[in-house]
Structure 1
Amino acid sequence: MMAGMSGCASMTARSPQRLLLLDGLRGIAAISVMGYHFGHVFHVKNLFARGYLFVDFFFILSGFVLTLALEPRLAKGWPPSAFIRARIIRLWPMAALGAVAGAMVMFATGGSGTVEIALTLLMALAMIPLTGIRDLEAFPLNGPQWSLLFELIANLVHAMLLQRLATKVLLGIAVISGTTEALVIFTYGSNRVGPDSLDWYAGLPRVAFAYTLGICFGRLWQSRRTRIESHWLVPFALISLLPIALCFTNGWLSRASGDALSVLVAMPALFWLAACGSVPSRLERVFSGLGILSFPLYAVHLPILKLFSHFDQSPITGVAALATSLMLAAGLGFTIDHRHKAKSASAQKLGEAGDLSHSQSSAKGKVDRQPPVEA
């Protein structure tokens, strides 16, 4: 569910600088989700007890970025099937890596029998959740995989249907799904819905609201109307600290009320401020690095935390688990980014050579020069 900015086909020269703020925020979001899982795995209270709220930020970001990258290309005749194939190529390998890591950890720690682990792994690799089982996650090998499945479903619906709908219709869908999400939050007592096997379907309004709203934001951003300029530090600090601040409201604001206000009101408003903001040039590499780190960290951190906690739950082991997760994610992220840039540069050179020699058809040249879809 990590949304990248390099796939936006209609950016201006200044756009990459503006969107780096969102790159930095998705890195902070992934770190916060890791902090939330760290508290559960190591049984310690920390300031990231509401870090699960950042999953909604990821869904908004995915809808926003893929609107910039997808809709102009579909309008020019790019087949939806090609888009879905690109999304699977983008998301599945990291989801598979997380599932394999989870299977290895479960086997090493004696969590289940070999046959059971193998069958669970096959289902995870096929992106098939376990459903209807109490006290079990839909993807027990690597819990966060549920959101990657939901994002792929949202991507499919976007390409096949949502991109054809008017923005006013999409806003209506967002209102209906947001109202449904509020009912779910107050029914379950929080917005931590979606990962569990027994009631996985409760996460559908969650992704429907956030993703659809992200599409609306993307179209509004493209129109260049109603942009609200603000200092980059305002949305960055407020979004980053929002789940932490909620940890101090238990005395006067229930968890359900805080979660609902956060994901339905505060986070969308702050997201729009972030989409309209820009970062100083001196911080561009930092924010870009956070964005590169985010997807691998989100996809692989939980098995690592579980492995370390199985042998020891001391503070030193916890710090080592966090450091290992960050270093592994950074290695994966920067390796993938380097290979992607090299592939894009090679494709661009081939496209230019084709234009000069007239050895490629005009249609193929246009396809080759299309920027990749990343999110």
Structure 2
Amino acid sequence: MTDGVGSSGRLEHLTGLRFFAALLVFGVHFRWDTSPEALRAVAAQGYVGVSFFFILSGFVLTHSYSHCIRAGQISLLSYCLLRVARLTPLHFLTGLPFVYFAIVQNEAIYSEQFGILKTLLNLSFLQSWVPVSDYYFSLNAPSWSLSDEMFFYVCFFFLVTLAPGRLVKLTAALGGVVVMAALLVQTFVGETQIAGKYPFSHWLFYVFPGFRILEFMVGMLLHDLWAQGPHLPTWLIPLSYLLLLGAMWGAPEVAAPFRYSLYYLPVVSLFFYVHLADRSGWRSFYSSPLMVLLGNASFAFYLIHQPMLHLMNLFLRPAMPGDAVFFPVSLTITAIASVLLYWFYEMPAERALKSLIRRRAGGLRPYVARR
């Protein structure tokens, strides 16, 4: 979803790790027809990959933009336009076909997600502010997180100017607010559906940008901690995978307001941080050319995986003997499609837009990451 760090940032394994997070999200939307119940239960928690993306986003933006923003080398307008150029090409490309299917084909499954106001909010990155699932899941449903990201990007321009101590206090205060809200909602609201197909708690703790920015801010703090030098031993890396798997296994026992983000925050933060200073074979694997390519294409993968699965369920699954075959086949097809989309559309479109913005802005300093 968000940018990875390029070779000049010497953290290419984080780019490769993005595909692992995207794979978790893929597992959520895969239709597990013939798999054991235990696998289905764990896969259903794959939305934890979104937490990884939000933390990564805070880390990478700090790594790439903190110096030029603090030095006054880029204006708020130029910075925001660059971020819009990063998200818009793929967002529009993957969202507009849903409008076509709803209007021209009149398919009911898409008509519920379409409307003039819903479309305008979606294409303006504002859909996550509406606590109704038909709005925040409008058009291409995974694009709700882009609405959150755009809010994070704007806030980052001001957050990054704060002294480290103030950022820590602000993050802790927001964490306290989210915990108190979770307690109140769990006590007095529970699983009540106020509007749409999902409980109010689903929007407030899974979608609402004002709460999900907590993970983004944790990513900023992890960058500051990493920049100061404290590193964790590499033997913790296998343990971090076991902890993540255990958290996903035990998640159904946790009340929804806490499960959507708070429950996973410590585990994902550890998982992310322990990979930063990795010098083991894990780093070699994730920084391999194939994984870096898949990581760079993970934004496209994230945005196309759900409609791709829908099409493959219709036309390909009937010819497949079961999940054990259909999962790797559908994953491979989606990965190839995302790489082609990255090569021939996303990267050229993004570069063209950013080049135009930089020329209009009179030139900006080069950035560490592929921004």
In the superposition, the TM-score normalised over structure 2's length comes to: 0.75
Residue 359 of structure 1 aligns with which residue? none
Letter in 2 for 1:305: L
Q: Alpha carbon RMSD of aligned pairs, Å?
A: 4.1
In the alignment, is the contact (CA less than 8 A) between 1:42 and 1:309 conserved in 2? no
Write out aligned runs for 1:255-270 (5 A).
Answer: 256=256, 262-270=263-271
Partner of 1:90: 86
SS in 1 for 2:95: helix
Partners in 2 of 1:219 and 1:127 — Cα distance?
Answer: 29
Where structure 2 has 5 or more consecutive residues not aligned to the other structure, the ranges are 192-196, 356-360
Alpha-carbon distance change, 42 to 73 in structure 1, aligned in 2, over 3 angstroms: farther
| Alpha-carbon offset, residue 244 of structure 1 | 3.9
Q: CA deviation at 1:152?
A: 0.9
Distance 2:217 2:112 in 1: 40
Q: Which segment drifts farther, 144-153 or 316-325?
A: 316-325
Which one of 24, 28, 42 corresponds to residue 20 of structure 2?
Answer: 28
The change in CA–CA distance for 1:282 and 1:210 in structure 2 (over 3 A counts) is closer
State the AA in 1 paired with 2:343: F
Residue in 1 that maps onto 2:164 = 167
Map of 2:343 onto structure 1 = 334
The 3-state SS of whatever aligns with 1:269 is helix
Tell whether the 8 Å contact from 2:129 to 2:209 is kept in structure 1 after alignment: no
Whether contact under 8 Å (1:3, 1:58) holds in the other structure is no
The one-letter code matched in structure 1 to 2:276 is A
Identity of aligned residues (%): 22
Distance change (3 Å), C-alpha of 1:296 and 1:338: closer
The aligned counterpart of 1:54 is 49
CA deviation digits over 1:77-114, x for unaligned, max 9? 21122111100000111111221243345565712687
Provide the residue aligned with 2:223 in structure 1.
218
Deviation at 1:229, TM superposition (A): 4.4
1:299 counterpart = 2:296 = no
For the 8 Å contact 1:220–1:226, the answer to whether it is kept is: yes
Partner of 2:254: 254
Task: Show the counterpart of 1:139.
Answer: 137
The aligned counterpart of 1:360 is none
Say if 1:91 and 1:148, in contact at 8 Å, map to a contact too.
Answer: yes
Q: CA offsets, 1:11-61, max 9 Å, x none? A: 9x6x42xx1221122111011101101248999936421011111111111
Preserved CA contact (<8 Å) 2:125 2:147: yes
1:69 aligns with 2:78: no
1:100 to 96, 100, 115: 96
Q: Is 1:286 the equivalent of 2:290?
A: yes
Pairwise mapping of residues 299-318 of structure 1 onto structure 2 (< 5 A)? 299-310=303-314, 314=318, 316=320
**What TM-score, normalized to structure 1?**
0.74
Q: Distance in 2 between matches of 1:116 and 1:250?
A: 29
1:331-370 counterparts in 2 under 5 A? Answer: 331-335=340-344, 339=348, 367=363, 369-370=365-366
Partner of 1:3: 3
- The Cα of 1:66 is off from its aligned counterpart by 0.3
Structure 2: how far apart are the matches of 1:259 and 1:201?
Answer: 9
Provide the rounded CA distance (Å) in 2 between the counterparts of 1:197 and 1:104.
29
Does structure 1 retain, via aligned residues, the 8 Å contact 2:142–2:302? yes
| Conserved 8 A contact 2:16-2:286 | no
CA–CA separation in structure 2 for the residues paired with 1:153 and 1:130? 10
Contact kept? 1:87, 1:373, Cα under 8 Å? no
2: CA distance, partners of 1:33 / 1:297: 10
Q: Distance in 2 between matches of 1:38 and 1:106?
A: 23
